[in-house]
Amino acid sequence: MNGGGKIALYLGLAVAALLVPQVPFLQPYLIQFAFLWVMILFAMTWDVMGGQMGYNSFGNIVFFGVGMYATAVVQRDLYFTVEEYANVAGGEQAALTPAEYLTGLALGMGIGGMLAVLIAAVLGSGILGLRGHYFAICTLGLGIAAGELASGWDYIGAGSGLVTPLLPDALGERGPFFYYVFLVLAVITFLVLKRLYAGQFGLAINAIRDDEDKADALGLHATRYKTVAWCVSGFFLALAGGVFGNLVIFIDPTDVAFAGPTFGVWMVLMAILGGKGTLWGPVIGATVFHLTQEFFWTYLFGWQRVALGLLIVVVVVFFPLGIVGWLRERWPQRFGEMVDEDARRVQVSLEGER
Amino acid sequence: MGNLEILIQAPIFSVQLLIDGLLVGSIFALAAYGMALLWGVMNIINISQGDYVILGGYVTLTLYNAGIHPLFGVPVAAVVLFFVGWAIYRVVIFRVVDRDLFISILATFGISILLQQLMDQIFGADIQSAESGLGTLFLFDDRVTVGQIKLVALAVVIVVSVSLVLFFKRSRMGQAIRATAQNARAARLMGINTDRVYAMTFAMNAAICGAAGALVVMTWVIQPFIGLAYTIRSFMIVVVAGLGNIAGVVAAALGLGAAEQFAAFLLGAEFQIGFVFGLLVVILLVRNMNLKRQRRVLK
Amino acid sequence: MYRYLKSAFVALPSAALAMSLFGTAQAKVEGDTIVLGAALSFTGKYKTNGKHTKNGYELAVKRVNEMGGVKVGGKNYELKVVYYDDESTPARGAQLVERLIKQDGIQFMLGPYSSGLTKAMAPVTEKYKIPMVEGNGASRSLFNKGYKYLFAVLSTSEQYLAEAINLAAEQAKAAGKDPGTLKLALAVENDPFSQDIRAGVLDDAKKHGMKVVIDDKLPKELNDMTVTLTKVKALKPDVLVVSGHSKGAATAVRQMMEQKVEVPMFAITHCEAADVVGKFGPGADYTLCATQWAETMTYEDDYFGSASDYAKLFEKEYGYVPPYQAAESTASVLVWVDALQRASSFDTAKLRDALSATDMRTFYGNVKFDETGKNIAKPMVLRQIQGGQYKVVAPTKWASDKLVHPRPKWSER
């Protein structure tokens, strides 16, 4: 595809995305779309670590939860005391003005994002030293431990959960509001990652994926790049978490915030389904997954999770390249590459670590 | 720390916690040993480990509901799970054995979700248990109680461990498994059918887990979604004990069992699971720091 | 084969897209049918109680339709409920309630199972001004938020076991002791519903000046509570309160029996849902169980007759004795029917007003909502298991039998 065509494609997508809320027959589906953007955010941020850098994390959900709780706590503490909030939150007594709501949300997301970066930096210095399966299982433990800790901490509601403020009526319906907020967030994340992958940073983390020891020996500060990558991933995930708390309204520590068995696994699956280590793969994977999942949930009724388990096994075992990876294998020219076949195969293959 | 005071003033209760912890740990040891076996021989980390345990529990429960004494569940669950394990190997695992570790982790994760959901559909989400009817031992003026079933569990663990050691030392299959673990390619050159060895290993692991599950359902209660905690515990135990070291695995498992009971008593029951997973992170970090130091010395 | 698999991966999502976009658009009233909506737990940790809830709804719908349906504006309508599976997680629940309202056009909502899920859905129905009648979200924090479109037919959770504390205090006074000397132990699951029970118990304990010696939170993945019971043995409390849905009840009863833990009063929730009598037989005796409803109570209505008639009909239909979770759900549907007939309109604002003016008798108890939307016309009752039977022992108005207190020692049974 030439440069002009590419710009036309991006512009077309952007206009289409902006116009969706204006189309009458799509009105009822806006919240579904908002969830879709969240899924895309999940897959994109996971792919920074898992796809581009080869560090398969099961614990990225920690940042999502941290962002969600941080935002909710800021929104609560900015305008209420804890006791007051417990008694009035959510209903009309606690109605915030639009300015208050947006200030709380923005400030909360900012603090949540910074907190996530801090946690990624601190934990990263230790955990990112682990390799392969040790890293994967350690992060799995991290995600679950975070959920259990949140369930025991009374200040953030412990097991009773935390209710976030309602969207003020002046800001319009829930559908369009969350549609646009998540759309903006997803687009910004996509553009930032696209920029990062195109430059030195992208090359560096790809080098770490392909052979960390060699990269290290050649003078690449692997630890620094790994930590930065985790911080980037965590930052955007925390922002998404902050808004997600407001979308769902009720934050349960293990089922919504630190939802490892659902969101934590899905983000991995979506990235692989779309094609990990590619720019568009996570986006496509998340879209396909979200639609398929809605299909399962509606028509399989009770057996949907069984189907989900099957889907994971089938995708991982039979389809590890993902959709984009497969397309790239079929039509490499379309992806503007006519490189040495063997080298390319190594690059997109999941066998990278061997 | 009011809870600590109890233990200081009435140390007898720490005896209770210790005994319970050790007996709990002996069941962890079974699952962990299976995990070490898979990891050592096939280089697979099996996330669905805990779900085989729970499945073994449900097999026993089915017998119990049919009016058969649940103790028979130990061998029956082992046999049933052996075939389940064999089937899972033949359908999925053999495709991922030689591939990237992460693929096998994710594939077994998928199997784990699948098993959980199938158990949920078939047996229901409620907790269930099988009564062994063995009664309870009362020591120290009734202040320390030991369910006799827990002692039976300990005996089963010992029997299984000893027979495993003998199996690996004596039998041809055991030797083949050990050879494959040492060097799969060399073993293949020596005429060992490594595919069969892998299938056998995977099936044996499932069988061991099944026996453990039979003990779990008689000792506590089961529901379809508690498998992951057993997987993580097994992983921790293997990380601490190392591969191919059955004494180490048993010791680490007993230690973990006791540590958990004390942690739950002192910190409150709500932090028990959090403690296990937190401990995992700490153990891995400490291990990594040690490795780093060694590497630096080498440099 | 791989190639087919791969094309399936492209075909499946496209089909899914088509079906999820154009499949299920429905109106609130289709022809002669009034469509109610509910997101229930068909999978996950609340699955069993989700089933009780669904059976409760279905029985009511069936019975109402058999008796001629609902008369609105001079025309008879049949009832129908649209269900989705919320997988016992609030994230999914919030998504589904949007789907019910926006995509399926549901205007009349029935509640989910559990306080957590109700907490996730109520703000959304409130925002869209869709009335919801629920029978399974008991947390009192649902009713201090000023929700105008939420109506609950049940007693809120802080009342569940408060009666047990009062009972313990009465017994102490009768024995010539000061209730302030009683020691209280709590082991309560870490979820919104159970934590609310804890709050209620603590309030009442404070009133009597009782001392709380154990206050454990049970994990959601509970399968062993030996540690808490060891504390009970060490500290010898006078009252032990356990709450943690069905699994908490079953685990507690089993391990109390196995470890022969002696405590004068042992009060729990969810006895019936966990079927502790069926599972543990005599081991469950003398346990105090909080219940919203009992089939021995003397309430009546036109649809089901008396409470025990309801129990019989339910057992005939589904093969087990209805736990109160099912009765609550049936009552929720009856409240909707009553409101629809009185309002004689499908306008949600009018229906809301009709709901808030509800004052009716059902087999489940009287229903009358206060301004926060909770039912104030019905008490909680406390039953004690005696010889494998549930006997109502408190409050006095409904008591059929006397409380056995303290619990006989295990060695004397």
State the pLDDT confidence band at A95, using cuts at 50, 70 and 90: low
Average pLDDT over residues A269-295: 88
Residue B139 has pLDDT above 80, yes or no: no
With CB atoms and an 8 Å threshold, state whether A302 touches C85.
Answer: yes
Average pLDDT rounded to a whole number, residues C322-328? 88
pLDDT per residue over A129-173, tens digit each?
888 778 888 888 888 889 888 888 888 887 788 888 888 878 888
Which residues of chain C have a CB within 8 Å of the CB of B275? Answer: none
pLDDT of A19 over the 60 cut: yes
User: How far is Cα C141 from Cα C192, in angstroms, rounded to an integer?
Assistant: 9
User: Does the structure show a pLDDT above 90 at A39?
Assistant: yes
CB atoms within 10 A of CB A226: 22
C7: which residues sit within 8 A by CB, 6+ positions away?
Answer: none
Indicate yes or no: CB of A148 within 8 angstroms of CB of B235: no
- Mean pLDDT (whole number) for A204-219: 88
DSSP state of B290: H
Query: Which chains have 3+ CB pairs within 8 A of C?
Result: A, B
Interface test with A, best of B281, B293, B299 (most A CBs within 10 A): B281
Q: pLDDT category, A299, cuts 50, 70, 90?
A: low
Across the interface, of A306, A320, A350, the residue whose CB is closest to B118 is: A306
Confidence at residue B63, expressed as pLDDT on a 0 to 100 scale? 93
The answer to whether A312 contacts chain B (CB < 8 Å) is yes
pLDDT band at C20 (very low <50, low <70, confident <90, very high): very low
In this structure, chain B runs to a length of 299
- Domain membership flag for residue A5: no
* C41 has a pLDDT exceeding 70: yes
C43 touches A314 (CB < 8 A): no
Q: Can you read off the two tokens belonging to residue C349?
A: 């604002």
CA distances from A180 to A137, A172, A190, C92 (A): 36, 12, 15, 21
Is residue A6 situated within a structural domain? no
Q: Using CB atoms, which residue from C103, C192, C219 is nearest to A160? A: C192
C147 to chain A, any CB pair closer than 8 A? The answer is yes
Q: Which two tokens stand for residue A296?
A: 């399962």
CB contact under 8 A, A141 and B278: yes
Q: Which residue of chain A has the CA closest to C102? A: A28
Residues C252-266 have a mean pLDDT of 88
What pLDDT digit, counting tens, does each position of B23-34 carry?
A: 889 889 999 999
- Residue A10 in any domain: the answer is no
On the question of pLDDT at B289 being above 90, the answer is no
Cβ contact, residue pair B129, C250, below 8 Å: yes
C87 to chain B: closest CA residue: B117
Structure tokens at A310: 């099957």
Task: Identify which of B124, C12, C32, C17 has the alpha carbon closest to the alpha carbon of residue A33.
Answer: C17
Mutate to test the interface with C, among A291, A305, A326 (most CBs of C within 10 A): A291
Q: What is the pLDDT of residue A352?
A: 45
Taking any CB pair shorter than 8 Å as contact, residues of chain C touching chain B are 43-48, 187, 190, 216-219, 221-228, 230-231, 233-235, 246-247, 250-251, 254, 258-260, 274, 279
What pLDDT shows up at residue A184?
93
Q: Determine the Cα–Cα distance for residues B172 and B178; give it in Å rounded to an integer.
A: 10
Beta strands at B144-147 and B136-139: parallel, antiparallel or unpaired: antiparallel
Asked whether the CA dihedral C334, C335, C340, C343 is positive or negative, the reply is: positive
* ipTM for the predicted complex: 0.83
Mutate to test the interface with C, among B24, B120, B136, B145 (most CBs of C within 10 A): B145
Q: Which residue from A103, A47, A118 is spatially nearest to A270, judged by alpha carbons?
A: A47
Question: Could you tell me which CATH class the domain C159-291+380-412 is placed in?
Answer: alpha beta
A270 lies within 8 A of chain B by CB = no
Q: What mean pLDDT comes out for the span C231-236?
A: 87
Output the pTM of the full model: 0.86
Q: What average pLDDT is seen over chain C? A: 84
In chain B, the number of structural domains is 1
Task: Please provide the CATH number assigned to the domain covering C24-154+296-368.
Answer: 3.40.50.2300
- Which residues, other chains included, contact C347 with Cβ-Cβ below 8 Å and sequence gap of 6+? none
Contacts of B298 (CB under 8 A, 6+ apart): none
Is B257 a residue whose pLDDT tops 60?
A: yes
Query: Does any CB of chain C come closer than 8 Å to the CB of residue A331?
Result: no
C374: pLDDT strictly greater than 50:
yes
Chain A residues in contact with B116 (beta carbon < 8 A) = 305, 309
Where in chain C are all domains bearing CATH 3.40.50.2300? 24-154+296-368, 159-291+380-412
Neighbour-count burial of B10, counting CB atoms closer than 10 A to its CB (0-12 exposed, 13-18 middle, 19+ buried): middle
CB environment B205-238: b (16+ within 10 A), e (fewer): bbbbbbbbbbbbbbbbbbbbbbbbbbbbbbbbbb
User: What is the arithmetic mean of pLDDT over C214-241?
Assistant: 85
- pLDDT-based confidence at B8, cuts 50/70/90? confident
Quote the CA–CA distance of A287 and C224 in Å, as a whole number. 41
Q: How far is CA B166 from CA B42, B211, C362, in A?
A: 21, 18, 69
CA-nearest of C297, C246, C296, C256 to C276 is C246
pLDDT higher than threshold 50 for residue C16? no
Distance CA C185, CA C228 (A): 9
d(CA C289, CA C302): 29
pLDDT at B99: 82
> Which residues in chain A touch residue B296, judged by CB atoms under 8 angstroms apart?
none
Least confident span in B43-52, B138-147, B219-228, C38-47: B138-147
Q: Which two tokens stand for residue A10?
A: 């991006």
Chain C residue whose CA is closest to A249: C120
pLDDT tens, C159-178?
A: 888 888 888 888 888 888 88
Q: Residue C41: CB partners within 8 Å, gap ≥ 6?
A: C47, C49, C50, C53, C85, C86, C87, C88, C112, C113, C114, C117
Q: Which of A126, A141, A350 sits opposite B100 (nearest CB)?
A: A350
Which two tokens mark A14?
A: 């952007």
> What is the distance between the terminal CA atoms of chain B, rounded to a whole angstrom?
46
Q: Which residue of C has its CA nearest to B15?
A: C230
Q: What is the pLDDT of residue A232?
A: 94
Exposure string over B159-183, b if 16+ CB within 10 A, otherwise e:
ebbeebeeebeeeebbebbbbbbee
- Average confidence (pLDDT) over C85-104: 87
* HSE-up (13 A, CA, CB side) for residue C210: 31
Mean pLDDT of C283-298: 86
Per-position b or e across C244-271, b if 16+ CB within 10 A of its CB? bbbbbbbbbbbbbbbbebbbbbbbbbbb
Percent above pLDDT 70 for chain A: 87
* A1 DSSP assignment: -
Residues forming a β-bridge with C392: C383
Distance CA A233, CA C126 (A): 35
Say yes or no for a CB contact (<8 Å) between C223 and B225.
Answer: no
pLDDT value of position A89: 46
Name the token pair of A333: 């020219």
> Of the candidates B126, B220, B273, which has its C-beta nearest C48's C-beta?
B126
**Helix/strand/coil percent split, chain A, to 5:** 80, 0, 20
C196 and C139 Cβ atoms separated by less than 8 Å: yes
Kindly give, in sequence order, each residue whose CB lies less than 8 Å from that of residue C275, ignoring residues fewer than 6 positions away: none
Q: What is the mean pLDDT of residues C150-165?
A: 86
Whole domain around residue A337: which residue ranges?
Answer: 29-353
CB-based contact (8 Å) between C11 and chain A?
Answer: no
Name which of A252, A314, A323 is nearest C90 (Cβ-Cβ): A252
In this prediction, residues A275-287 reach a mean pLDDT of 90
The residue among A85, A89, A62, A101 whose CA lies nearest residue A237 is A62
Q: What band does A297 get if pLDDT is binned at 50, 70 and 90? A: low
A320 and B103 in contact by Cβ < 8 A?
A: yes
Which tokens sit at C318? 């589904």
Give chain A's domain count: 1
Question: Which amino acid makes up residue C205?
Answer: A
The pairing of strands C305-306 and C359-362 is unpaired
What residue numbers bound the domain in which B112 lies? 2-298
From A122-126, B104-108, B140-144, B179-183, the region with the lowest mean pLDDT: B140-144
Structure confidence at residue A128 (pLDDT):
87
Helix, coil or strand: residue B242: coil
pLDDT top residue among A225 and B10? A225
Taking 70 as the threshold, does the pLDDT of residue B137 lie above it?
A: yes
pLDDT, tens digit, 9 for 90 and up, residues C190-209: 888 888 888 888 888 888 88
- A 124-143 near B (Cβ less than 8 A): 126-127, 129-130, 132-134, 136-138, 140-142
Model pLDDT, residue C18: 45
Contact C15 A247 (CB under 8 A): no
Q: Which residues of B touch A254 (CB under 8 A)?
A: none
Alpha helix ranges (H) inside C288-374? 307-318, 324-343, 348-356
Structure confidence at residue B43 as a pLDDT band (50, 70, 90): confident
